[in-house]
Chain A
Amino acid sequence: MTTVSASPFTGLDAERFATHLAQRSYLPAWWIAAKQEAWNEFNSLPMPSRKDEHWRFANLKGLALEDFQVPEDHSSLVPRLPDFPQASEIIFSNCQVVGRTGLPQELADQGVIFASLDEALRDHSDLMRKHFQRHPVQLGGQKFIALNVAFAASGTFLYVPKGVKVDLPFVVQHTLSGDRQSIFPHTIVVLEDQAEASLVEFFVSGDTKSQLASGVNDLHAGQNAKLTYVGAQNWSDDTLSFQANSIHAERDAHIQCLNVHLGGRQARHESHSRLAGPGSHCDMLALTVAKEAQEFDQRTLQTHQAPHTTSNLLYKNALIDTAKTIFSGLIVVDPDAQQTDAYQTNRNLLLSDKAEANSLPGLEIQANDVRCSHGATSGRVPPEQEFYLQSRGIDPAKAHELIVFGFFEEVLSRLDNEQLHTVLSDLIQSKFKKS
């Protein structure tokens, strides 16, 4: 008799993927096929290389995936979700639903769907299929998007029918716990014409272990719809994080996206907004606190495909210690997209001499009657501000914190939801407390 000593890790390998699929044989065939295709794509795509402009300045060694495994169980320790008024919430721990509040009957009666991926695949397969990866992001991270699709098990489908307006935000929390565990959240938000809704997602680690997260969003706003999406990422400081955000706006749609980036050893965020219908508008906002040796890599694309479209990107990074940020953004205005107003601004506040902020703004304009601008600034904390605060008895660390909050306020104040403003401020503040 021979004994085979099993490796404690079942990595992201073919065997593991086969098991993943086999466990999901009850799901629709199109979903299984999409996963299989994504798995093939993941394997055929090379890892990012030094020659790849999409990954300029990024730490490529940090992207190694070998050691991570797909979690089979969930932790019972789920960090508490900030308490604020909401329409409904779903809480995932590793890939399983561990908590949720029911959708108010009034919303269910109007046809609103707020469901985990598995539920949505069971009950609304066709609707979900129509919008799943309809406009994939192609900003260099396709391999990680493929990995997400291959292993996606946790995630949410929010669907708001035509003309339905939901005031309170929908809330999702993804929690990841355990050493070398990984998570692949996939979020699909569909607002039909004239619908209004907001979704807030929290991405948090239940411990400080080394983890892998690759998340994907498909956000879709129909004609004259109003969508607010907030993603607050606070993984452990030893997490490799990847997030791809696809935004699609039809005629006169209004989309506001805010991403808060706090956690991760190395966190990449790709965001592509498509202003597909005339009169559509998108705000792309981001706030990052980068400290110690963290690297935050943000790649954006604003595509104006129709006339009278507007987009406004404002990414603000506060850098502490030896942290590093990369911002690379592009505005593309198609020939037909006359009277486009497009702005792209990246501001970096350096709180340390050793921090590194890289900025690569860009424009590609094919129409002749447009207003576009891009700008990037990096600056130290003005010494007179520092001294002024200290002269009132505020210690240097707290003074920096106040200055960072002041710096961020321009973005946070754009949120209509006061409670959410407070929740995000508290979350950002927690980063200054943990050290």
Chain B
Amino acid sequence: MSRENNTVEPSYLDYKGKYKGIFSWILSTDHKRIAILYLFSLLAFFATGATLGLLMKLELIAPGKTIMTAQTYNAFFTLHGIIMIFAVVIPGLPAVFGNFLLPIMIGAKDVAFPRLNLLSWYFYVAGVTLVLISQFTGQGPPDTGWTFYAPYSFRTTGNMLPAVFGAFVLGFSSILTGLNFLVTIHRMRAPGMTWLKMPLFPWTLYATGWVQLLATPIIGITLLMIIAERTLHIGFFDPTLGGDPLLYQHLFWTYSHPAVYIMILPAMGAISEIIPTFCHKTIFGYKFIVASSIAIAFVGYFIWGHHMFTSGMSGTALYTFSLLTFLVAIPSAIKVFNWIATMYKGSIDLQTPFYWALGFLFVFMIGGFTGLILGSLATDIHLHNTHFVVSHFHFIVFGGTGFAFFGAMHYWYPKITGKMYDTRWANTGLIIFFAGFITLYGEMIFLGMKGMPRRYYDYDEVFHTGNIFSSLGAIVMYFGLAVIIINLIASLRNGAKAPSDPWGGKTLEWTIPSPPPVENFDEIPVITKGPYNYK
């Protein structure tokens, strides 16, 4: 296989198809263009969610009312959660990098169902639109938090129905993407690419696909049950109608805990691509990383109850969920050990994506260890409704998925855009972002341990100093994010032309031009070696 195909086909960015202008994007069934659609919509939603988060932290900079009322604060953390969870971190890596790179990394010309792929994006935009509509119609925005917990979610006067239905539609987008990836991986791998010759990022997308396909319908049904309860007064969850509020929590977390793995598994996959490339070394323990991805996806189905330790479950359920929660730490730790072992004696090239991967390891470990503290029943009782959980959650979801997303962005940016970015600004942005991140969420660990409750817009004077640090961290982090994103946008215009393989990667995407041609490969490659062959 030649290192670089001397293709005469135009790149996917230059291709002049049947439609022009904006229609050449929103009607395109090319997986790469759909990935870019996801990228820009996702960045817009991320900017919205991040701004809401910043405003909440500014409110918390001092006790009492600072810049918003308590009701507005409730509405903000609800919208921040819905957007960030359902529209940013769940679709994040699969919809953007999965769509762009999965077919290329397995040697295919597109995904199995290109039209379904475009439909997924339409569902995605429609879902977020419904959520946004809920903010400006009815009797005020939803104020339940992103979890829509019963019985409050059908008693509040907030405009719940469009928000809940929006989350339902977003679920469909996720299911269709997962289904598409599963079929693509099963049926469209290049000749010779056996399961154990497939790169690790597609492997994690495969594990994620099963979670998307099998867990998401549960939340879909649950959200429909809320709608039925609000409109038809059927007693699923309302005790006054004979329902059980804990049933809602069971159903909600049966999806929403596996959803954490929809967020984190592809992140782990991206890190598994970045580390061997910048260590110029075959990844350590390939088969164990593959097995741990499947194990995380599988065990992840059975540990939802740790979100409900203080909700009033039976003792037997508490012990069982605590035990199962500790089990899922094992495959996660296997991955971390393998990444570090890959670095050992590697020929390390300190480039921006590698710094992001190191940052990921650091914050993910903090997230993991705080998770073990919360998985223990005795400590969880004290910490569950405090800032400690908010901090743990952000270390995993923003620290894990967010760091991996930006790492992936800097790693595959030359391939996607055909341009190199300014490394100095990229690294500067990362340092500012990292400093802000640790100050913001690190301080929240201590606030939580002191007993500062979560979801409160006011607090006791004893928490004031910690909140000042945390809020200042938010401002610094927001500034760092702006530097990172402005640098990437500016590099689209000013960046040097990217070669086909700027980092010395070995997977298939680095064998084709940057940006890739419309059909990816002139000829479908025949795979004879493993994906990380650095010998």
Real complex partners, A and B? no
> Could you tell me which B residues sit within 8 Å of A by CB distance?
none
